Structure 1
Amino acid sequence: MKINQAKCRVLHQGWGNPKHKYRLGGEWLVRSPEEKDLGVLADEKLNMTQQCALAAQKANFILGCIERSVASRSREMNLPLYSTPVRPHLEYCIRLWALQRKKDMELLEQAQRRDTKISEGWSTSPMRTG
């Protein structure tokens, strides 16, 4: 099997890394400041701020889509409808992220609060018309 050189990149990590240039075959590999692997975005310093922002953005997008498209307000139906597609985005590889910054935790918690607020609101508000 041949290696696709166009897809190969170098991600230098660590403080004392001399950041050497590498070749694959006869071509130099491109240096990348961040890479995504298995759905987790990591940069040179293993900073997960961008990953948290993307997870919260995706969760908020899904919540917005569900909120706009679901007409039923029954709690029994909507609670799993919200929790099932949203929670995996917020919890995927959470152990790897090791949320070190308070603002990252608050960003994810804000999306979780929105999910909880919307799903709890289904049981108290009247049916949607139109």
Structure 2
Amino acid sequence: MELLEQVQRRDTKMIRGLEHLSCEDRLRELGLFSLEKRRLRGDLIAAFQYLKEAYKKAGEELFTRACSDKTRGNGFKLKEGRFRLDIRKFITMRVVRHWNRLLGEVVDAPSLEVSKARLDGALSNLV
């Protein structure tokens, strides 16, 4: 467990009335995500920007769209690829599997703000 996660666990235990709950339940009660979910959220937001908005041109180099008629989940599936060590491409390896599991309403959001709100709802349902 990383130091930041230990600090998060310790600090949420100090809140009166929540000390008897598990760490996940304390975070849920406080409306917070674990550090792992926050990292994933940041990666998915960056992927949205690369694929849909601000960095769309660069996104064409980073991500490959999967050609498939199976649109279960969302219609904007990505293909996992193999990359040589290139720091910019690490995000693609971390995010593709999660991106493909997102619902269409998150992936096809009209703006980044709408996507963030829908993504938060989807992530809060993850265990």
Would the TM-score normalized by the shorter structure come out above 0.5? no
* TM-score normalised by the chain length of structure 2: 0.28
Larger strand proportion of the pair = 1
Larger RCO (CA within 8 A; separation ≥ 6): 1
* TM-score normalised by the chain length of structure 1: 0.27
Larger Rg: 1
